[in-house]
Structure formats: C-alpha cells, structure tokens
Structure 1
Amino acid sequence: MDTARTHQKVPIPVEDRRACLGPDGTVALVTRCLRLISGRWKLPILFRLYADEVLRSSQMLRDIPGVSQKMLTQHLRELEEDRLIVRSDFGEQPPRVEYRLTDRGQALMPVLLAARQFADDHKA
C-alpha cells in the first residue's frame, strides 16, 4: 500500500488533480500567498498599516517592539516589491517617507483577519 498518496484525500475527481497540485493549482496559489507574508515582521507591518492608513518608518519602529531599523527596512522593501504597500518619498529635507497599503494589500487583509479569527476560534 502506498502511503504517500495524500492527493487522493483532496475532494476532486482523479482526472482533475492538476487543479490542486499542478503548477497553477490550489497548492501553488496558497503557497504564493504565504510567501508574501512570510517573515517575522511582515504581519505586524501589515496590521499596523491596516490600523493607521499612513505611517512613517519611525512610527513603525516605535509601535513594533523588537524590530530593528535594518529588518524593518528589509521587510518594507519586500512588501513594496510584492506590491502590498507603497512608499511615498516627498524628496524633502529632512527626509519624509510614508508607507500605506496598496489595493492589493487591502485585498489581503480580509484573508489575514479570517486567519486571525480561525486561530482565535481554535485555540489549543
């Protein structure tokens, strides 16, 4: 008996396995979503930007305990690269840079809030 045949537990017809396991299947899409939010500081950044529409990095440094300037900058750049946030540089002296969620980032928030609710409903 082959115990590695977990794909048979997925409730889809056998001929439609690629819909779940193929390169553009369910597993690949969910993995892509999880990659967008993987990283220790990405979720705190996203939730802070969801709570306050516009934030400067100095405010995020104060609001997110334990994050270093280096890690905050790295995660902000990754979120910007994934088009979940937008960076607005006003070209002023002293420098003034603000961050906000994009429409794509806003669309992700109901998924994250549902995950939060699921975790709250299913405490260990």
Structure 2
Amino acid sequence: MDGTSTHFNVPTQAQGREQCLGPDGSVAHVTRVLKMIQGRWKLPILFRLYADPALRSSALLRDLPGVSQKMLTQHLRELEADGLVHRIDYEEKPLRVEYRLSEDGLRLLPVLMAMRRFSTGHATGLADPRADAP
C-alpha cells in the first residue's frame, strides 16, 4: 500500500498527517461545520427551512415548540452569519421578514441526511462503553 487509505484518501504516515490534522486539514474543516450547526435549535430551524423554502420567524416560533423568541433570533442570526440562511426584509409596514436557505444551506442537506442515515443504521441500544471499564 502507498501509505494512504484509498477509500477516503486519508494519510496514514506521519508526513501526510498535516492534510488531516493541520490548520487547513480535514479535522479543521469538519469542526468548522459542526460549530455552524451546533446549538439546540439550529438543526430544527434548518430542517424546517428544508421543508418550507421560506418562513417568517413567527411560523418558526410556532413550529418549534419550546424555543423562545430570543433563542430563535440568536440562532437565525448565527445561521445567517455562517452563510446557511438568508434573511429577506421586504421593507414593508408592518415589518415582513422571511428566512430562506442559502445555496450553502441547501448544499448542507445531503450531509445532514447522510448523518441521519448513519444514525438510523447504527446499532442502537448499545451499552455504555464506560460501563465495562474497571
């Protein structure tokens, strides 16, 4: 073998590990994406916007039981800052604002669906591995 896992092109020798562990490596990029979707309400917001292409914050507030207006606004702003959601202000009175997924937000859907498939296909009900520790 040439020192690389052919399936994922992951370096297995020390000189190639920079591609995974370096500041611009795979780990850094995956960590960045995880931080974008980290937060109790971000995934529910994204999935609601996948289901309905444009929603007002009042509809999101109604569809996500338990979320406060403050947290919804905070998470929407963070998703917008990360480029996953677009805020569209129609500059009307009364105020009318809608949220839509950006192109990057749409490109994230297959990743989230792959995570869902992994979760549903992963063995459930496994014992806590820490329970076997002495």
Q: What TM-score, normalized by structure 2, do the two folds share?
A: 0.83
Is the contact made by 2:41 and 2:72 (CA closer than 8 Å) also made in structure 1?
yes
| CA distance in structure 1 between the partners assigned to 2:76 and 2:111 by the alignment | 20
Match of 2:60 in 1: 60
Match of 1:18 in 2: 18
Once the two structures are superposed, the pairs formed by residues 31-42 of structure 1 within 5 Å of their partners are 31-42=31-42
Once the two structures are superposed, the pairs formed by residues 1-124 of structure 1 within 5 Å of their partners are 12-122=12-122, 123-124=124-125
| CA distance in structure 2 between the partners assigned to 1:27 and 1:82 by the alignment | 18
| 2:54 aligned counterpart, secondary structure | coil
| CA distance in structure 2 between the partners assigned to 1:19 and 1:60 by the alignment | 40
| CA distance in structure 2 between the partners assigned to 1:22 and 1:68 by the alignment | 39
Higher alpha-carbon deviation: 65-74 or 10-19 = 10-19
Taking only the aligned residue pairs, the percentage that are identical comes to 64
Shift in Å, 1:81? 0.4
Q: Which runs of 5+ in 1 are unaligned?
A: 1-9
> What CA RMSD, in Å, does the superposition of the two structures yield over aligned residues?
1.1
| CA distance in structure 2 between the partners assigned to 1:121 and 1:42 by the alignment | 23
Shift in Å, 1:65? 1.1
Is the contact made by 2:57 and 2:98 (CA closer than 8 Å) also made in structure 1?
yes
Is the contact made by 2:11 and 2:20 (CA closer than 8 Å) also made in structure 1?
no
Matched to 1:88, the amino acid is: I
Shift in Å, 1:13? 2.2
Shift in Å, 1:11? 5.2
Matched to 2:115, the amino acid is: A
| CA distance in structure 1 between the partners assigned to 2:113 and 2:106 by the alignment | 11
Is the contact made by 2:11 and 2:17 (CA closer than 8 Å) also made in structure 1?
no
